[in-house]
Amino acid sequence: MGILKRVRDGLGIMLAVAVKELIQFRRYPSWVIAVFIWPLLFPIMSVFSARALAGPEGQALHAFAALSGTTDYTGYIIVGLVMWMWLNMTLWTLGSFMRSEQMRGTLEATWLCPVSRLGVLLGATCSQLLISMVNLTVSLIAFRYIWGFRIVGNLGLTALLFILSAAAVYGLGIAFASLVMWVKEANAMVFLVRGLFMVFCGMTYPLAVLPGWMRIVSRGLPLTYSIDGIRTVALAGAGLADVMGHIAALAAFAVVTLVAGFVAFRWTERRVLRTGALGHH
């Protein structure tokens, strides 16, 4: 079979899965909350905590600026939280994609088709990406009007950092989905993983406030570099040279997590064929 035909088949399958997922997504009314309400509600708490800690005249802001390099704590928090919410959503969607297909019994029906099983998961990833983009756009527009959030730095560079982060996050998502298929439980796993990222990636605070050992853990998580890099570029207007390290780290993470994701998926696929765990619930 020609490589071109295979690519076309693969894309066709991804598209079919993505369309199916989007139709289903739209039919559960709670999607409005996921896309429009939650991303707006969630950052409010942190922004007001920060306002309280800064003092009425912003007396404490110089201390914050000394660690973070900016006094714009609203933008600072928004970048951190938006990135984290997006990771969170990816894990939920991919993890629960596998889980709900497994529980509904449709995973077996899907695997009965003569298609690449990984292609099916990638299709789900695509629809998730689309939903995330809508979500992200809604949040950014809203934050602009509510808190005057705006990106002052180079948009292209911001986008590059974001795309590299996306690759790393989706690699994680695929590994995660494989794991869920195996342990047959998504919730506890999501709580664990997102909790780790929440604490260690400097979502709402500079990493400098963490004890030394925690900072070492931080360096092992891709989102640390995404959040810091995007803040540096988007909020402080830094150039390419300033974030080369971030770009290199994120690229490395992307390669590692994507490979790990594929390996985990293949491994799970084989295991499931042996144990028959595909249809269990």
Partner 1 sequence: MNERQDAVVVVGLRKVFERRARRGLLRRAQGEVKTLSAVDGIDFLVKRGEIFGLLGPNGAGKTTTIKMLCTLLSPTSGTARVAGHDVVREAAKVRSSLGTVLTGERSVYWKLTGRENLRYYAALYRIPRRKARERIAELLERLELAGRADELVEKYSSGMKQRLALARALLPSPPILLLDEPTVGLDPQAARNLRQTIFDLKAGGKTVLLTTHYMAEADELCDRIAIIDQGRIIALDSPAALKEGLGAKEVVRLEIQGEPNGLGDALRALALVESVAVRPSVNGAGTCELQVITSNSRRSIGPIIESVRAAGHEVVHFQVVQPTLEDVFIRLTGKSLRD
Ligand X SMILES: Nc1ncnc2c1ncn2[C@@H]1O[C@H](COP(=O)(O)OP(=O)(O)OP(=O)(O)O)[C@@H](O)[C@H]1O
100 and 186 Cβ atoms separated by less than 8 Å = no
99 and 186 Cβ atoms separated by less than 8 Å = yes
Alpha carbons 80 and 74: distance in angstroms, whole number = 10
Residue 15 interacts with partner 1 (CB under 8 A): yes or no: yes
What track of x and - describes contact with partner 1 for positions 259 through 278 (by CB under 8 A)? --------------xxxx-x
Q: Would you tell me how many other CB atoms lie within 10 Å of the CB of residue 189?
A: 16
Minimum CB–partner distance for residue 184 and ligand X (Å) = 12
Q: What is the DSSP string of 90-102?
A: HHHHHHHHHHHHH
Q: Which does 13 bind (CB under 5 to 8 A by kind): ligand X, partner 1, none?
A: partner 1
Size of the site for partner 1 (CB under 8 A): 30
What track of x and - describes contact with ligand X for positions 221 through 260 (by CB under 6 A)? ----------------------------------------
Minimum CB–partner distance for residue 258 and ligand X (Å) = 30
Identify the residue whose tokens are 């088949």.
Answer: 9
Q: Which does 106 bind (CB under 5 to 8 A by kind): ligand X, partner 1, none?
A: partner 1
93 and 264 Cβ atoms separated by less than 8 Å = no
Alpha carbons 190 and 92: distance in angstroms, whole number = 7
Minimum CB–partner distance for residue 205 and ligand X (Å) = 47
Alpha carbons 90 and 87: distance in angstroms, whole number = 5
Within 207-246, the residues that bind partner 1 by CB under 8 A are none
Size of the site for ligand X (CB under 6 A): 2
Nearest to 169 by CA among 86, 105, 53, 272: 86
Which residue number, 22 or 103, has a Cβ lying nearer to ligand X? 103
Which member of 42, 111, 205, 262 binds partner 1 (CB under 8 A)?
111
Buried-exposed string 39-58: b where 16+ CB fall within 10 A, e elsewhere: beeebeebbeebeeebeeee
CA 137 to chain centre: 15
Which member of 110, 154, 206, 252 binds partner 1 (CB under 8 A)?
110
Residue 28 interacts with partner 1 (CB under 8 A): yes or no: yes
Alpha carbons 210 and 205: distance in angstroms, whole number = 9
Residue 20 interacts with partner 1 (CB under 8 A): yes or no: yes
Minimum CB–partner distance for residue 201 and ligand X (Å) = 39
Which member of 105, 195, 239, 245 binds partner 1 (CB under 8 A)?
105
Minimum CB–partner distance for residue 6 and partner 1 (Å) = 11
Alpha carbons 39 and 81: distance in angstroms, whole number = 9
Alpha carbons 80 and 86: distance in angstroms, whole number = 10
169 and 178 Cβ atoms separated by less than 8 Å = no
Which residue number, 62 or 274, has a Cβ lying nearer to partner 1? 274
Which member of 29, 44, 276, 281 binds ligand X (CB under 6 A)?
276
Which residue number, 251 or 277, has a Cβ lying nearer to ligand X? 277
Note the residues at the interface with ligand X (CB under 6 A): 275-276
Note the residues at the interface with partner 1 (CB under 8 A): 9, 12-13, 15-17, 19-20, 23-24, 27-28, 104-106, 108-115, 120, 273-276, 278-279
